[in-house]
Structure 1
């Protein structure tokens, strides 16, 4: 079934006004005309991030459990963090976050995928990598971070996804892509 042909529609952004600057994002108010109708949209700019799916020698995934203020609860996720600068290579950010959050590093990171987290109102893009051949190191947590590192079987993580117990989009996308790539069900 073929969808609607959007190539005939005309959409133009008339203006973008900065409404708020935070520590990791900027919020704008955009005025857009689409098919002759003027609308106002909220738009959030994020410089980007990287995430890493660390795989132990026995095939388990290292996950991090940490408090997330937006949800007011602890979540189970793959290690991730924001870029230190907009032009920082995502692979370097992924390597840094792996060591900072898990206390392991890896000499080789393999690109897995790119995820846009919330396309309706935010441009955040996360580069996701696979880390194997993990080398023990030391966690380097920020003063306000409290992260527990846990080893999980892929099949158990898949079960958490399918039962709705895991809700973090980058983590879900990474685990599903990795499981598909490796033929794990």
Structure 2
């Protein structure tokens, strides 16, 4: 059975700093028309940082979209222009946590909300961390926490940590390391 939709019209409704809002008119596999509201995101990166004593470096940050504080991987959007994903990950790790990685490698890419958004989050694994200085943006307020992987897993299972990129990163790390 054919399941792909064919876009017949794209209309940008809003242009923002992080994303644009678009309404697409599509033809469904059964021939009917429908509309799809989508966000075109500039892309982002996240860093799965592990200290030399095997603790995860996370940040606690207020998120206005959910009116709550989350515990999550250090992360951020790509600066518009020519910033590469690895470059953004290096920048975000030091800005948000005050750590520099002796080694940073691309870990995996994930799609954050495929039902309405094209955002790709590139997750990097950072090890051999060295303490530097946190350098938050003027509008950024967060706390750095270091947590043991087993304690982290318990927090996920209890529903205390719900951020998708963070849960996905830890799931992969645990599967790869038999934790």
Q: TM-score range by the shorter chain?
A: over 0.9
Cα distance, 1:31 vs. partner? 0.2
CA contact (8 A) 1:51 1:79 kept: yes
TM-score by length of 1: 0.92
Runs of 5+ consecutive residues of structure 1 not aligned to the other structure: 1-5
User: For 1:115 and 1:45, how far apart are their aligned partners in 2?
Assistant: 15
Runs of 5+ consecutive residues of structure 2 not aligned to the other structure: none
Match of 2:41 in 1: 46
Once the two structures are overlaid, the 10-residue window that deviates more, 86-95 or 97-106, is 86-95
1:9-158 pair list within 5 angstroms: 9=3, 11-35=5-29, 36-85=31-80, 87-158=82-153
CA-to-partner distance for each residue in 1:52-91, whole Å, 9 max, x for gaps?
0110101000110011000111110010000013653211
User: For 1:169 and 1:9, how far apart are their aligned partners in 2?
Assistant: 27
CA-to-partner distance for each residue in 1:2-42, whole Å, 9 max, x for gaps?
xxxx4x34521001000011221100010000120100110
CA-to-partner distance for each residue in 1:64-119, whole Å, 9 max, x for gaps?
00110001111100100000136532111111100000001113212211110000
User: For 2:62 and 2:78, how far apart are their aligned partners in 1?
Assistant: 20
> Which is richer in strand?
2
Q: What is the RMSD computed on CA atoms of the aligned residues?
A: 1.2
Seen in structure 2, the aligned counterparts of structure 1 residues 129 and 39 have a Cα distance that, compared at 3 Å, is same
The number of residue pairs the alignment matches comes to 178
